[in-house]
Amino acid sequence: MSKTRNQQANINYFIRIFLCSMLLTGLFACTTTSEKTTSIDQPVTIDEPEIEEHEKVVIVSPPSVKKHASVPVVKRLLSKSNKKFKAKEYHAAANLIERGINISPDDPILWQRLAAIRLEEGNYKQAKQLATKSNVLIEGDPDLREINNGIINQAKKMQNSNK
């Protein structure tokens, strides 16, 4: 009887040793194969292969910014239009600007003036759109852009207050 009990004890002993060894081996494997511990909350990040120098895209400077300058006849029409604008003759002011646009369709100042006229007339939708168009045509004139943004903001404000 005691021989059987001893054999059983030895078997149990070896099972315990085996299980501990397995546990230790597993723990060892985990610590050596990964620098980071993983958990449900942390995303898995996979490093991208490094791009070789010759494959990298090179950002370059944009082409030289075209400086805007109104042609003399447009300057004259703008001046006449401004006078009409100050006298609150908005239709007449707009007519002069449209003549200017026929001559110089990409002059951002013309579109800006038309935006300002529409703003005064209460046509807020067009005021915003025309000022946006002027912004698209501007390249190197932050002051002009600021005025356009002012018109856009004012038009938005007036639209909201009318709702």
- Please report, as ranges, the residues that interact with another protein according to CB under 8 A: 51, 54-63, 65-66, 71-73, 76-77, 91-92, 94-96, 98-99, 101-103, 105-106, 114, 126, 129-130, 132-133, 136-139
Nearer to another protein, 16 or 83 (CB): 83
Nearer to another protein, 17 or 71 (CB): 71
Question: Least distance to another protein from the beta carbon of 82, Å?
Answer: 14
Nearer to another protein, 43 or 62 (CB): 62
Count of alpha carbons within 13 angstroms of residue 42, beta-carbon side: 7
Question: Least distance to another protein from the beta carbon of 28, Å?
Answer: 39
Nearer to another protein, 17 or 136 (CB): 136
Question: Least distance to another protein from the beta carbon of 123, Å?
Answer: 9
Smallest Cα–Cα separation from 69: which of 99, 106, 114, 113? 106
Rounded Cα distance, 97 and 122, in Å: 18
Nearer to another protein, 40 or 60 (CB): 60
Quickly count: other Cβ atoms within 10 Å of residue 145's Cβ: 17
Question: Least distance to another protein from the beta carbon of 78, Å?
Answer: 11
Question: Least distance to another protein from the beta carbon of 106, Å?
Answer: 7
72-76: long-range contacts (C-beta < 8 A, 24 or more apart)?
73/100, 73/103, 74/100, 74/103, 74/104, 74/107, 74/109, 74/110
Element housing 85 (H / E) = helix 72-86
